[in-house]
């Protein structure tokens, strides 16, 4: 029924085939222009004047070949685990990605057809003949050592054993004594170090001399790590090599800069770590300002021409009063006047964040450094003196605390996000050069990992912040700063993605009859597909709707005077192309391009802000960032003029108790984001059935609730959908929005849920602790349990930490005997210990019929120890389960920004009259999705044929024999167990499961209701020898009952999971008291304490 209600749009696009021509500015490109007009208001993706430009990356096979054939290789293949189902090889029909480009034709927009990055099936280079060199240029940046490490390890995985690092940047290329041999053993542990083991340098000798030096040393692969200037240098080395006849040379650039100012790319490595460290400094500045009377904290952050760090750090920290970036034309008189008003009006201190680049806009730069960069005066100290003079003239008491963390940020070690991203960039760089590509850069564009021709990156102006786009609007709403410039138009920049109100979404791109336009890189899945699926979002209608759709109130946000282009029209769409097809997968005909409704503020509202009464409900498990979402919801509603906001204790069932609702004010949540956990007690109820949903809906109507915001994971979305169905059945109009929040990030469509990145960071730290203990103690195996339902958390944490020998996730078909044999073999081969990561969701997919696994981590550990004892092996197991610690963690800056953006977009959508939707980021764009579509797809799962699983296999070096093949059967079992009829994302084809050995001696888990007599050996002594199990059985129940009554727990009867273990231990005649619901959390953090 949900799919039947989805609109399917069919469109035919007239294209002038004669318009396909060679673009003289870009060699090897082709341009397709849309020639015919489309109907006004149609939901097509392309408009008149739009053009598609194909970017071609140079390839040695298409250009020059070495005469001795050293570049030819037909026997080698990319490094994948033998027999692995998820090879991650890019298939031919999806080898390109369609990205929205920066250059606009006279009418319309430009789309770039860009080669995807990733492994190819046929290498160009013979690994035995490869000589690779790594060069680091420019300033320091978090993640440099991680990139160097992964370049070396990936090259060695291909079979390349001659890898060199150049000390001193480009200058060291011509000095042989600066060449350092690199091997996996001397880069294994540099990931956790800041800076770089290869000293960076600025400036360079003539490029012809560097090309000649590379040819003399027999180098055929060059990796240049640096900013925009370094990428120009890499391009010039490539051109110089061509000029001297040195044709067999693969040159790849890996862009790095904390400024995030590389053209075309979404972001560069090191940027997220820089934002995280900068936000920590801002929080220190906030403490100073709020704990001292009349205090102003001024923080200067790096950003030579771009204010990206200052902008995102202000979003992450939330407590910034004013953010000044070089992209805004600032009137200093207005700025100083606003600072005085802030000092007079704010109850706590004032925090001002300023970007380094203001030294070039407010002041005048003088001279340049060795890299050609302008030497700019210190804008922070200058602004500090201006503020001091203004306050002195007014005779006001003041105190200014000045913070400049620039070089502290640059030398930091990368966080989990950057660690994973650095590894991905390095792997893609090696995949590209080994496949024979040259003169290219790797990066992420429009949410796609791609290879870009070096001239496309090097010849463009540096990227700057678009003050008419969403990010600056988010900051303006958080700081509530007015326009401070003489004009508020965006500065000219060629990177900004159009955010105009008339942006439209998706099409069926077919040409005029009789044959479709052929762009083979995208195949017939996208450009010639018959349908594009439009996921429309319902509008409020019914008894409580304030206005009919199409008419409404003027948004009060327009009073801020910010760029009007930041507002979205009601028909503003975004197109998500189908995901890439990897080798070994079979394309499913049901995968169509998706047309999704863009999130963002609307010019007109359907609800009158003073009449809005909002309710916030949190359901499910704890998750990092819950308080951040609640805070931003309240702040954004107050910004609209809605002051009647309430919170529910206890999840869905708390809706039925309006007398216990919490009145939430702006002052109450002002510092809520500084607290961990949740301001509102989290309900852990199952989604309400339809009758209960109708009862809850009647309560909402009786209390005149107009907005309901649900925060949680898949179950919460299912409950929100049931309430929406009840609202439709009863004819009530309420705006209902769900905000994804789960550490598993297993919701369909969205890139990730809030809290997931924090969970990955904490989980990778737990893996590092387990690695330290396993390698610090003889004969140790570290076992870390992560996640809940899917394998996303375990997979991403493994990729971020890197020090894992075996990772087992629910998407794999697991053979315990093979796992144990692999662990024992690894312990025998390695000089130090072994680290194993398992996902909690394995308890739902392990092929153990009739066995109650319970806590899969404890079960796995016990089974492993039993096998060690049986084989008389001197191995010990150190088990770590920090699930509760992860769930209760404070959100990291990435999640803090994401939580704020999700909350703002949720309020924008609800105020505009949308209902039954969830907000999230899809392919790097914020969109609104119908909840029914998210729920109908079921829980998401790791793509068993995707690049992520292939990267996991390469990182851990585990083979199919270690844990079993990825299996469609496990996915089907999970869907059945969860009673979900929807398709599980990522399970593309059925792969034969490895047989489970007939001899499976399973150790009963005493925590799963087994009697004490069934337990044996060390497990019996460990679990049943505790004082709790030795205590008087009746006294245990009395104690639990008294404790629950003292804590004021509810009276719902859902405590069966806790009752069952004690039921097995009590005599049959002993009466079982009626207990309120209880839920246990076990925190095992011994490894973290010891390390």
SS3 1090: helix
| Residues found in the chain | 1091
| Tokens matching residue 370 | 């060795």
State phi, psi for 67 to the nearest 5 degrees: -70, -30
Q: Cα dihedral angle (880, 884, 888, 890), rounded to 10 degrees?
A: 20
| Tokens matching residue 189 | 């542990």
| Tokens matching residue 820 | 């144990």
DSSP character string of 249-311? -EEEEEEB-TT---TT-S--BTHHHHHHHHHHHHHHHHHHHHSSTTEEEEEEE--SS--HHHH
| Tokens matching residue 335 | 């700025």
DSSP character string of 621-675? S--TTHHHHHHHHHHHHHHHT--EEEE-SSGGGGGG-GGGPEE--HHHHTTGGGS
Kindly give the interhelix angle for 1033-1047 and 1056-1065, rounded to the nearest 10 degrees: 160
Name the nearest CA neighbour of 897 among 188, 311, 145: 311
Told to judge if 259 belongs to the known catalytic residues of this protein, a careful annotator would answer yes
Q: How far is the C-alpha of 576 from the C-alpha of 98, rounded, in Å?
A: 10
SS3 405: coil
State phi, psi for 849 to the nearest 5 degrees: -60, 130
Cα atoms found within 13 Å of the Cα of residue 674, Cβ hemisphere only: 13
Q: How far is the C-alpha of 737 from the C-alpha of 906, rounded, in Å?
A: 6
Q: How far is the C-alpha of 943 from the C-alpha of 11, rounded, in Å?
A: 30
Q: How many separate helices (H) and strands (E) can be counted in the chain?
A: 33, 35
Check if the beta carbon of residue 197 is closer than 8 Å to that of residue 190: yes
Cα atoms found within 13 Å of the Cα of residue 111, Cβ hemisphere only: 20
Residue 196, judged by CB atoms within 10 A of its CB (0-12, 13-18, 19+), counts as: buried
Q: Which of 259, 449, 768, 895 is catalytic?
A: 259
Q: Which residues contact 484 (CB under 8 A, 6 or more apart)?
A: 324, 328, 330, 331, 334, 335, 338
Q: Which residues contact 1069 (CB under 8 A, 6 or more apart)?
A: none
Find where tokens 């700057």 sit: 464
Name the nearest CA neighbour of 544 among 497, 487, 482, 606: 606
Q: How far, CA to CA in Å, does 666 sit from each of 644, 650, 663, 709, 912?
A: 10, 22, 10, 17, 22
Check if the beta carbon of residue 1063 is closer than 8 Å to that of residue 668: no
Q: How far is the C-alpha of 646 from the C-alpha of 663, rounded, in Å?
A: 5
Check if the beta carbon of residue 544 is closer than 8 Å to that of residue 608: no
Q: How far is the C-alpha of 1055 from the C-alpha of 832, rounded, in Å?
A: 43
Q: How far, CA to CA in Å, does 37 sit from each of 13, 49, 327, 1075?
A: 9, 9, 36, 69
Active site residues: 259
């Amino acid at each position: 029924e949900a799919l039947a209600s989805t609109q399917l749009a069919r469109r035919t696009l007239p294209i002038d085939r004669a318009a396909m021509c060679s673009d003289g500015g870009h060699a090897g490109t082709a341009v397709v222009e849309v020639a015919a007009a489309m109907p006004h208001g149609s939901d097509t993706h392309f408009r008149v004047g739009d053009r598609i430009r194909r970017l071609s990356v140079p390839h040695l096979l298409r250009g020059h070949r070495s005469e001795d054939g050293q570049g030819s290789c037909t026997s080698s293949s990319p490094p994948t685990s033998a027999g692995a189902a998820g090879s991650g090889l890019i298939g031919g029909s999806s080898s390109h990605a369609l990205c929205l480009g920066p250059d606009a034709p006279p009418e319309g927009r430009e789309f770039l057809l860009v080669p995807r990055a990733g492994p190819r099936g046929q290498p160009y280079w013979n690994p035995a003949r490869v000589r690779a060199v790594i060069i680091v240029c420019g300033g320091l940046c978090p993640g440099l050592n991680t990139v160097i490490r992964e370049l070396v390890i990936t090259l060695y995985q291909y079979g390349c054993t001659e890898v060199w690092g150049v000390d001193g940047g480009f200058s060291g290329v011509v000095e042989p004594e600066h060449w350092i041999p690199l091997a996996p053993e001397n880069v294994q542990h540099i990931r956790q170090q800041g800076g770089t083991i290869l000293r960076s340098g600025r400036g360079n000798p003539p490029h012809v001399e560097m090309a000649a030096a590379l040819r003399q040393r027999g180098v055929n692969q060059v990796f240049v790590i640096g900013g925009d200037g370094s990428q120009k240098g890499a391009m010039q080395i490539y051109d110089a090599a061509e000029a001297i006849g040195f044709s067999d040379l693969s040159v790849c650039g890996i862009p790095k800069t904390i400024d995030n100012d590389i053209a075309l790319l979404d972001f560069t490595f090191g940027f997220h770590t820089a934002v995280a460290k900068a936000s920590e400094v801002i929080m220190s500045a906030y403490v100073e300002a709020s704990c001292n009377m009349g205090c102003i904290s001024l923080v200067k952050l790096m950003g030579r021409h771009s204010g990206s760090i200052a902008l995102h750090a202000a979003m992450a920290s939330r407590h910034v009063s004013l953010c000044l970036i070089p992209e805004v034309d600032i009137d200093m008189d207005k700025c100083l006047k606003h600072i005085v008003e802030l000092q007079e009006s704010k109850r706590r201190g004032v925090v001002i964040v300023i970007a380094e680049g203001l030294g070039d806009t407010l002041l005048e730069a003088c001279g340049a450094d060795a890299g050609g960069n302008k030497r700019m005066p210190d804008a922070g100290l200058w602004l500090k003196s201006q503020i001091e003079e203004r306050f002195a003239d007014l005779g006001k008491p003041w105190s200014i605390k000045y913070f400049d963390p620039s070089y502290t940020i640059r030398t930091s070690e990368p966080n989990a996000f950057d660690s994973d991203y650095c590894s991905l960039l390095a792997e893609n760089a090696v995949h590209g050069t080994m496949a024979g590509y040259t003169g290219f850069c790797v990066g992420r564009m429009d949410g796609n990992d791609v290879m870009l021709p070096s001239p496309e990156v090097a010849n463009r102006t540096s990227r700057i912040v678009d003050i008419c786009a969403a990010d600056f609007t988010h900051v303006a709403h958080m700081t509530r700063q007015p326009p401070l410039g003489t004009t508020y138009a965006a500065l000219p920049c060629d990177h900004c993605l159009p955010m105009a109100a008339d942006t439209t979404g998706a099409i069926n791109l077919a040409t005029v009859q009789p044959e479709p336009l052929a762009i083979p890189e995208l195949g017939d899945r996208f450009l010639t597909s018959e349908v594009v699926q439009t996921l429309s979002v319902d509008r409020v209608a019914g008894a409580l709707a304030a206005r009919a759709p199409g008419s409404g109130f003027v948004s009060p946000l327009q009073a801020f005077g910010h760029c009007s282009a930041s507002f979205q029209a009601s028909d503003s769409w975004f197109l998500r192309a189908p995901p890439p097809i990897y080798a070994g997968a079979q394309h499913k005909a049901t995968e169509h391009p998706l047309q999704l409704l863009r999130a963002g503020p609307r010019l007109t509202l359907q609800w009158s802000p003073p009449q809005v009464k909002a309710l916030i409900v949190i359901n499910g498990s704890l998750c990092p960032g819950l308080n951040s979402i609640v805070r931003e919801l309240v702040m954004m509603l107050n910004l609209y003029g809605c002051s009647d906001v309430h919170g529910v204790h206890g999840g869905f069932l708390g809706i039925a108790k309006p007398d216990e609702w919490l009145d939430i004010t702006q002052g109450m949540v002002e510092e809520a984001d500084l607290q961990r956990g949740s301001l509102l007690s989290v309900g852990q109820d199952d989604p309400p059935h339809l009758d209960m949903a109708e009862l809850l809906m009647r309560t909402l109507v009786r209390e005149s609730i107009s907005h309901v915001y649900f925060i949680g994971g898949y179950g919460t979305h299912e409950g929100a959908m049931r309430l929406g169905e009840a609202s439709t059945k009863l004819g009530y109009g309420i705006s209902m929005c769900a905000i994804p929040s789960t550490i598993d990030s297993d919701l369909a469509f969205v890139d990730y849920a809030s809290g997931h990145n924090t969970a990955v960071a904490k989980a990778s730290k737990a893996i590092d602790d387990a690695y330290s203990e396993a390698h610090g103690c003889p004969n140790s195996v570290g076992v870390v349990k992560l996640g809940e339902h899917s394998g996303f958390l375990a997979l991403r944490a493994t990729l971020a930490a890197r020090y894992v020998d075996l990772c087992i996730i629910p998407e794999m078909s697991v053979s315990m005997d093979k796992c144990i044999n692999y662990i024992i073999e690894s312990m025998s081969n390695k000089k130090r210990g072994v680290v194993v990561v398992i996902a909690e969701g394995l308890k739902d997919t392990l092929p153990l019929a009739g066995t109650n696994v319970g806590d899969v981590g404890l079960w796995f550990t016990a089974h492993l120890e039993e096998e060690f004892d049986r084989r008389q092996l001197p191995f010990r197991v150190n088990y770590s389960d920090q699930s509760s610690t992860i769930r209760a963690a404070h959100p990291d800056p990435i999640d803090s920004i994401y939580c704020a953006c999700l909350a703002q977009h949720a309020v924008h959508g609800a105020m505009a009259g949308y209902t039954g939707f969830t907000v999230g980021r899809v392919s790097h764009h914020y969109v609104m999705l119908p909840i029914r579509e998210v729920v109908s797809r079921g829980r998401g799962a790791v793509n068993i044929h995707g690049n992520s699983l292939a990267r996991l296999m390469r990182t851990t070096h585990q083979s199919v024999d270690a844990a079993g093949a990825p299996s469609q059967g496990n996915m089907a079992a999970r869907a059945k167990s969860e009673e979900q009829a929807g398709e599980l994302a990522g399970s593309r084809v059925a792969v034969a499961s490895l047989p489970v050995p007939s001899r499976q001696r399973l150790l009963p888990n005493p925590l799963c209701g087994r009697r004490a007599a069934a337990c044996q050996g060390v497990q019996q002594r460990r679990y049943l020898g505790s004082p709790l199990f030795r205590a008087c059985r009746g006294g245990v129940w009395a104690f639990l009952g008294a404790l629950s009554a003292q804590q004021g727990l509810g009276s719902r009867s859902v405590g069966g999971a806790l009752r069952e273990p004690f039921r097995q231990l009590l005599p049959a005649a002993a009466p079982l008291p009626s207990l309120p619901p209880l839920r246990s959390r076990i925190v095992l953090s011994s490894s973290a304490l010891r390390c």
